[in-house]
């Protein structure tokens, strides 16, 4: 990663986190003000204060701190008041601790729900304004994958996953993962170029075996449509194995290890799945003469993963073939009402899926190595920012939902933990003893620290693991 990419990743991450934290804390702030509670401070970040300003009738202190990985809203509260300077009697009704259980619960819940609202608004904006989307047209699956076993062919277009229609590749990706989290197989309704429609059962049990650690679509063998270009070499990359083997521009690859090659992606599949250090025997056609060359792919690091490359670029097909190829991209746009309904549905389904996956992690069905932390968020923030605003906003919506879900978990010190306290207070008919609150807070801090440690360990493993395997 060069300096410009590193700077982009840092800026994209800080912007993402700052927006999500401000929205979350604004949820607490706005509902607190609606409930008549006095807000003393609104802080973005922790630690040393870099900037501060007092605003409004209550002279609320707005601060920006050195560590922007969190934030808080400090409200008037008798439990936190200085014994030497008690709260004036006139302001006691505005103290947080003096509010009813319902009001306190509303103030606490407003933060996570502000994150859900942000996700809904982002989705509404994208669905309404229109987005360039990859169509759900499948490519030929690798051998020995569930997609190959299901009989999926290059050019098949998925129309439904179960009973749910899909219009884009993103819809397909989401609906397959959602269905796979519930059952060992997924039914796909598929149409081909001839207009025939068929249903196939896609087995998903291999995801449990892999623990969802890798790309689930890679494991299932689902890939985007790849045009049937012939395996004709357009360019040989300097310094790569293909150049060392003597392959030239214009060569046509007839076979690999004796297996005939019709399309370029067949050669790609064999190269990418070649065990490290193994040589392949290529039969090539050059000026009407068949030649045989030995080619050993080299392992390269791309996006934190080791893959095999030989350094070949393929020739574009002729105009006649290009005209016959299906469109792979389309602009998808919804009316405002449909966009709102779809946005709410997307947010709800993403939340439910996140909770299901977290439950699978707790039960041991899915590996805890799937937890991601700030390093992974920074990496994907940078990647999506590099792709474009549309991808970046979608990622922001996804992280906003995750932040909302995380904060609603019934862990003391999180918003969900406070809501749990309030529920117990209603059942008990009065506040919980202070020792119980302290005990719960210590447990919550331990659980949260453990969760963060696992997530950070996974981030670092993904980041530096490939270097140790090189």
Based on the fold, state whether residues 8 and 121 are members of the same structural domain: yes
Question: Does residue 56 register a pLDDT over 90?
Answer: no
Cα-based distances in Å from 213 to 90, 168, 308, 395? 57, 24, 20, 19
Question: Does residue 107 register a pLDDT over 50?
Answer: yes
All residues at 6 or more sequence positions from 310 whose CB lies less than 8 Å from its CB, including other chains: 240, 241, 242, 271, 295, 297, 298
Residues acting as catalytic residues: 25
Based on the fold, state whether residues 302 and 391 are members of the same structural domain: no
CA angle in degrees (0–180, nearest 5) for 49-51-54: 105
Based on the fold, state whether residues 160 and 239 are members of the same structural domain: no
Question: Does residue 227 register a pLDDT over 90?
Answer: no
Based on the fold, state whether residues 171 and 204 are members of the same structural domain: yes
> In whole numbers, what is the pLDDT of the chain averaged over residues?
86
The CATH number of the domain holding residue 191 is: 2.30.42.10
- Tell me the pLDDT tens digit for each residue of 417-458: 999 999 999 998 888 888 888 888 888 888 888 888 888 887
Question: Of the candidates 251, 285, 317, which is a domain's last residue?
Answer: 317
Is 344 among the domain residues?
no
Based on the fold, state whether residues 22 and 93 are members of the same structural domain: yes
Based on the fold, state whether residues 24 and 111 are members of the same structural domain: yes
All residues at 6 or more sequence positions from 430 whose CB lies less than 8 Å from its CB, including other chains: none
Count other C-beta atoms under 10 Å from residue 322's C-beta.
Answer: 11
Radius of gyration of the chain (CA): 28
- Tell me the pLDDT tens digit for each residue of 381-422: 888 888 888 889 999 999 999 999 999 999 888 999 999 999
Based on the fold, state whether residues 212 and 108 are members of the same structural domain: no
Of 146, 137, 272, give the one whose Cα is nearest residue 204: 146
Q: For residue 382, what are the domain limits? A: 3-130+372-468
- Lowest model confidence (mean pLDDT) among 34-43, 194-203, 299-308, 315-324: 315-324
Q: How many domains, in total, are found in the chain? A: 3
């Amino acid at each position: 990663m060069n300096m410009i990419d590193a700077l982009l990743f840092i800026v994209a991450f800080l912007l993402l986190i700052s927006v999500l934290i401000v929205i979350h804390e604004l949820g607490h702030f706005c509902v607190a003000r609606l409930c008549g509670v006095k807000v003393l401070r609104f802080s973005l970040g922790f630690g040393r204060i870099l900037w501060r300003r007092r605003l409004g009738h209550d002279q609320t202190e707005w601060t920006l701190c050195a560590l922007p990985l969190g934030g808080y809203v400090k409200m008037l509260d008798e439990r936190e008041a200085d014994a030497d300077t008690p709260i004036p009697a006139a302001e006691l009704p505005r103290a947080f601790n003096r509010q009813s259980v319902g009001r306190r619960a509303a103030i606490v819940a407003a933060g996570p729900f502000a994150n859900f609202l942000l996700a809904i608004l982002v989705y509404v904006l994208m669905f309404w304004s229109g987005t360039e989307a990859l169509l759900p047209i499948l490519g030929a699956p690798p051998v020995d994958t569930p997609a190959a076993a299901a009989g999926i062919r290059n050019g098949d277009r998925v129309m439904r996953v179960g009973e749910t229609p899909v219009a884009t590749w993103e819809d397909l990706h989401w609906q397959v993962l959602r269905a796979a989290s519930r059952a060992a197989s997924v039914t796909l309704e598929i149409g081909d170029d001839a207009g025939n429609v068929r249903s196939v059962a896609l087995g998903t049990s291999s995801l449990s075996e892999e623990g969802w650690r890798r790309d689930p679509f890679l494991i299932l063998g689902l890939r985007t449509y790849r045009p049937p270009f012939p395996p004709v070499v357009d360019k040989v990359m300097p310094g790569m194995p293909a150049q060392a083997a003597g392959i030239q521009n214009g060569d046509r690859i007839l076979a690999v290890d004796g297996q005939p090659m019709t399309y370029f992606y067949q050669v790609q599949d064999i190269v990418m799945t070649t065990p490290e250090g193994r040589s392949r025997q290529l039969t090539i056609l050059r000026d009407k003469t068949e030649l045989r060359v030995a080619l050993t792919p080299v392992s390269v690091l791309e996006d934190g993963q080791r893959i095999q490359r030989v350094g070949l670029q393929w020739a574009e097909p002729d105009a006649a073939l290009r005209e016959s190829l299906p469109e792979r991209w389309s602009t998808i746009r919804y009316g405002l009402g449909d966009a709102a309904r779809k946005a709410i549905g997307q947010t709800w389904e993403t939340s439910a899926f996140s909770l299901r996956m977290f439950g699978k992690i707790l039960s041991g069905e899915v590996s805890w190595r799937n937890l991601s932390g700030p390093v992974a968020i920074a990496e994907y923030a940078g990647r999506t920012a590099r792709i474009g605003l549309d991808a970046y906003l979608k990622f922001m919506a996804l992280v906003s939902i995750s932040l909302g879900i995380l904060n609603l978990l019934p862990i003391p010190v999180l918003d969900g933990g406070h809501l749990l306290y309030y529920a117990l207070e209603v059942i008990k008919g009065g506040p919980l003893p202070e020792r119980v609150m302290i005990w719960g807070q210590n447990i919550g801090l331990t659980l949260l620290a453990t969760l963060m440690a696992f997530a950070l360990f996974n981030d670092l493993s993904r980041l530096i693991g490939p270097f140790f395997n090189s």
